[in-house]
Amino acid sequence: MMCQSEARRGPELRAAKWLHFPQLALRRRLGQLSCMSRPALKLRSWPLTVLYYLLPFGALRPLSRVGWRPVSRVALYKSVPTRLLSRAWGRLNQVELPHWLRRPVYSLYIWTFGVNMKEAAVEDLHHYRNLSEFFRRKLKPQARPVCGLHSVISPSDGRILNFGQVKNCEVEQVKGVTYSLESFLGPRTCTEDLPFPPATSCDSFKNQLVTREGNELYHCVIYLAPGDYHCFHSPTDWTVSHRRHFPGSLMSVNPGMARWIKELFCHNERVVLTGDWKHGFFSLTAVGATNVGSIRIYFDRDLHTNSPRHSKGSYNDFSFVTHTNREGVPMRKGEHLGEFNLGSTIVLIFEAPKDFNFQLKTGQKIRFGEALGSL
């Protein structure tokens, strides 16, 4: 009887060994991969990872049973050379188009993104020599009347992603996804020119931005789509005393991506302008994005964004307060402040009394000059 049972089990054991052989071989192969250098391992695991996410029906899912793990979608996206692609896009935008090609190219863009050319100062499409000039087109003076009754206006066209009070040193980029206030604005330095003194904790960071008793810290995030007006303006009467430039990544900042990647705005390249308005601290941050070849501040000629080389996590400071100019750069509400090469994001963080009220709804479309809030 024993011999018969062993005879029956013989083919089963051979089949089991045959089934386990590929797994053992794959384990050995993965063991070899684990001994490789980190850059080489990333390079070798990319093709499998891409196939893992692209192939239907979980074709590569059995690989996870033998110890292989795909690179996360977020890590995979972060590894895309978006800065290089954005610089290439910026150079492409500078190429002068033949006169006969301008109308079909710009018309396709207008149709795709819903651009309203009736608001443009120059409606003739042949006037724009390249894509960059078309993106940075000016508007007719009457196209965006500036609201004079409210203390803070929208600095640009766009969509409201989030707004409200800053709580626990965390700011919402979209509902439910936050980023650190200190990581976004950068650490404070013991420098007389900076508008905020150094602090030792999260609470003191927020509290020392609030310079007047009874005030609160507020924020507002505005997303500029590719079809929106690409220039941004001063949202109130204030004085700009300091600029901090973070040469970071250039990932997409559309609302879907903002829900996907935590602290997206802290990873991306950005230009933080800080100063004071009549109620205390005020800041405007222009956040770069994929294919935004440059961020330009009109009064800051020393600013150069999307440079080929930068150190991760680095930043550079520049003060507009000098021995000859003790105040900084005064800006009037609605005055031209800067421009993007393509759509991106504006983040306002400012101090105001407790009775400051936003007149907004999350997700609403807004245009430059319309009211954000008032006392």
Taking the alpha carbons at both ends of the chain, their separation in whole angstroms is: 94
Query: Please, what's the b/e burial string for 104-129 (b: 16 or more CB within 10 A of its CB; e: otherwise)?
Result: ebbeebeeeeebeeebbeeeebeebe
> What is the spatial distance between Cα 317 and Cα 303, in angstroms, rounded to a whole number?
10
Q: Please give the pLDDT value at position 281.
A: 94
Q: Is 344 a catalytic residue?
A: yes
Residues of the chain with pLDDT under 50: 1-2, 6, 13, 15-21, 23-24, 26-44, 57, 190-200
Q: How many CB atoms neighbour CB 293 within 10 A?
A: 23
Strand partners, 296: 339
Q: Please give the pLDDT value at position 45.
A: 56
Q: Please give the pLDDT value at position 16.
A: 46
Residue 283 · residue 348 · CB < 8 Å: yes
Q: How many CB atoms neighbour CB 229 within 10 A?
A: 25
Say which of 219, 230, 233, 279 is annotated catalytic.
233
Q: Is 157 a catalytic residue?
A: yes
Choose among 200, 207, 182, 372: nearest CA to 280: 207
Residues 6+ apart with CB under 8 A from 296: 303, 305, 338, 339, 340
Q: Please give the pLDDT value at position 365.
A: 94
Q: Please give the pLDDT value at position 248.
A: 80
Q: Please give the pLDDT value at position 277.
A: 94
Q: Please give the pLDDT value at position 32.
A: 47
pTM above 0.75, yes or no: yes
Q: How many CB atoms neighbour CB 208 within 10 A?
A: 14
Say which of 132, 151, 283, 344 is annotated catalytic.
344
Residue 372 · residue 150 · CB < 8 Å: yes
Say which of 157, 228, 276, 300 is annotated catalytic.
157
> What is the spatial distance between Cα 246 and Cα 268, in angstroms, rounded to a whole number?
8
Domain layout of the chain by residue ranges: 73-136, 152-187+203-374
